[in-house]
Amino acid sequence: MTRAQRSDAIRNRAAVLAAAAKLFASAVQPSRVTMDQVAAEAGVGKGTLFRAFGSRAELVQALCARQTETIRQAVESGPAPLGPGGDPRARIAAFLDALLVMHLNNPHLMLAAEDPFRGTTLYQNPDYQWAYQLLGQFLSDAGADAHNTLLPHVLLGAIRAGLVNELTAGEHVPREKLRADLAGIVATLVPPAPEGIARRVQASIAAGRPPAKSQQV
C-alpha cells in the first residue's frame, strides 16, 4: 500500500467512525442502523466500508473502543481514585461510575454493543472481558474473595445498557441518582478490606508491585 493509499484508508476510517457515531446517537432503534446507512452517511462505497470494518459488529466494537480508551488511560496512569495508588474499594466505585457515565452518554451505541451477533454474547465482547478482568483484580486488591467469579458479573450487571436505558428513558430516573445508587451497591457488596491486607496491598501498589497471593483473601 502506498502512502497515498494509507492516507486515504485512514481518512475513510475516520469518516466511517464519525458517520456511525452520528447515526447511532440519533437512532430511535440502534438495531436498525445498517452498514448501507453508514456508508451513505460517510460518503464512501460499501467496499471501502467493509475493507475498514469487516462487519457491523466490528464497527460497533471500534466505536466502543474509542469510548473506553479514556477510561483505560485513566486506569493505567491517571490520578486516584481511578488510577493506580488509591484505595482499592474507591477504585472499584470510580471504575464502575466511569463505565456508567459512558453508558449514560452513549445509550444507543451501548445498546448496539449488547446485541448478539452471529452467536456471540455480551460476555465474549472484548470490552466486557477487559472490564470483568479488571474488576476481578480490583476486588482482589480490596480483600474480596479472589475466587468469586460471579461478583464482577453482578457489579457489571448493574450497568447493563438495557437496564440503564430502561431506568433513564423508561422510568426517567435522574442520572445522578443512578450514579449514587451504584456507589451504594459497591459499598454494600464490597466490604472494606481487613486492615492488615489493606496495608500490604497499599505498600505493594506504592512500590509498583502486584499484591502477592498471600495478600489476597
Q: What is the pLDDT of residues 168-185, one digit of tens each?
A: 999 999 999 999 999 999
| For residue 166, pLDDT beyond 90 | yes
Q: Does the pLDDT value for residue 149 go beyond 80?
A: yes
- Percentage of the chain beyond pLDDT 90 is 69
For residues 192 and 175, give the distance between their C-alpha atoms in angstroms, rounded to a whole number. Answer: 26
The rounded distance, in Å, linking the Cα atoms of 86 and 88 is 6
Structural contact between residues 62 and 17, judged by C-beta atoms closer than 8 angstroms = yes
**Does residue 186 carry a pLDDT above 80?**
yes
Q: In this structure, how many other beta carbons lie within 10 angstroms of the beta carbon of residue 46?
A: 12
Kindly indicate the confidence band of residue 4, based on its pLDDT and cuts at 50, 70 and 90: low
- The residue written with cell numbers 488510577 in the block is 83
Which residues, other chains included, contact 77 with Cβ-Cβ below 8 Å and sequence gap of 6+?
83, 84
How far is CA 165 from each of CA 40, 81, 115, rounded to the nearest angstrom? Answer: 28, 27, 14
Mean pLDDT (the chain, rounded): 87
**Mean pLDDT of all residues in 71-87:** 94
